[in-house]
Amino acid sequence: MSTQVSEEVREALHEGRPVVALESTIIAHGLPRPRNLAVALELEELVRAGGAVPATVAVVDGTARVGLDRAALTRIAEDPAVRKLGHRDLAPALATGATGATTVSATAWLADAAGIRVFATGGLGGVHRGWTETQDESADLRLLARVGITVVCAGVKSILDVPATLQRLETLGVTVVGYGTEHFPGFYLSSSGEPVDWTLRTPEEVAAVIRAQDRLGGPRAALVVGNPVPVAEQLDPALHDRVLAGGLAAAQEKGISGQGVTPFLLEYLTVHTEGASLEANLAAVRGNVRLAASIAGAYGAGADGVAAAPGADGR
């Protein structure tokens, strides 16, 4: 694979210093211009403030890049022709010289291949509502069953079928833990209402789990760390439920299906919450980036972790 790891990231990995991977779809397709570039730079600075090296991932002119310089980051943010790339799109993008922003699946794949152990994002993709009729499921899930990376996220996008997504992750052997919570986060909301089996409360505990995965060996799979957005910064739950119901009805009325559903609903939420959903999303991403930097630092330090606390069901 034609992959270029930046000198800063390469040196940090060689020296055993903490590195945090960041996806680029939020830059190219998740935020309005010019705020998207400002947020991209802010997230990288949050990683640095946490003592780690940021590695934003994208494909530029047919080269997969792990760690972007300012020029590449600006291009991903400002060029309207930038494509959205899942891991299935990487080979065609590299072969045709395309430029694209990487989703969770593509970022996790490239970061894992580069030797990065921690990745921060907003929310994962998952099983879509009405799966029994559409069989629509994000490629994120299967890919996370194949890479040994820790993904810090605010759960899965709340427009999805969260219980079905958690069941799918269990089937695929992907470990899911809550960070400081006994319930899986709800993306815009602090809680989805779904319990988690394991709760971890410090970066050192998460790092201890990563090291335990290393010792166990066997089939590789991701560790998903569900980090809830603070209650004070979440989207109002009543507003969320009301607007989401309206968005689902509007999507059905317009005949929107398949890959078109998620961007339609996310845009619908942004418009009909007057931007409040976007602010909750950004609050979640910032928190995830800070936590990911702390986890990467704790893992690199090699300190002994404390045993994980059982979740709400006592297992």
Active site residues: 23, 157
Q: Return the ∠ at Cα 314 (arms to 313 and 315), rounded to 5°.
A: 95
Q: Return the ∠ at Cα 179 (arms to 292 and 123), rounded to 5°.
A: 65
How many Å apart are CA 177 and CA 198, to the nearest integer? Answer: 5
Amino acid letter, 302: G
Residue with tokens 């418009």: 271
Helix (H) or strand (E) holding 96: helix 90-96
Helices 276-301 and 203-216 sit at what angle, rounded to 10 degrees? 60
DSSP state of 137: B
Asked if residues 114 and 64 have their Cβ atoms less than 8 Å apart, the reply is no
How many Å apart are CA 157 and CA 207, to the nearest integer? Answer: 25
Is 225 exposed, middle or buried (CB count within 10 Å of its CB: 0-12, 13-18, 19+)? Answer: buried
Asked if residues 106 and 57 have their Cβ atoms less than 8 Å apart, the reply is yes
Asked if residues 144 and 169 have their Cβ atoms less than 8 Å apart, the reply is yes
How many Å apart are CA 308 and CA 78, to the nearest integer? Answer: 43
Cα–Cα nearest to 8, from 60, 61, 70: 70
The gap from C-alpha 65 to its chain's centroid, in whole angstroms, comes to 18
Using DSSP's 3-state secondary structure scheme, residue 68 falls into coil
- Cβ-proximal residues to 81 (8 Å cutoff; 6+ apart), any chain: 99
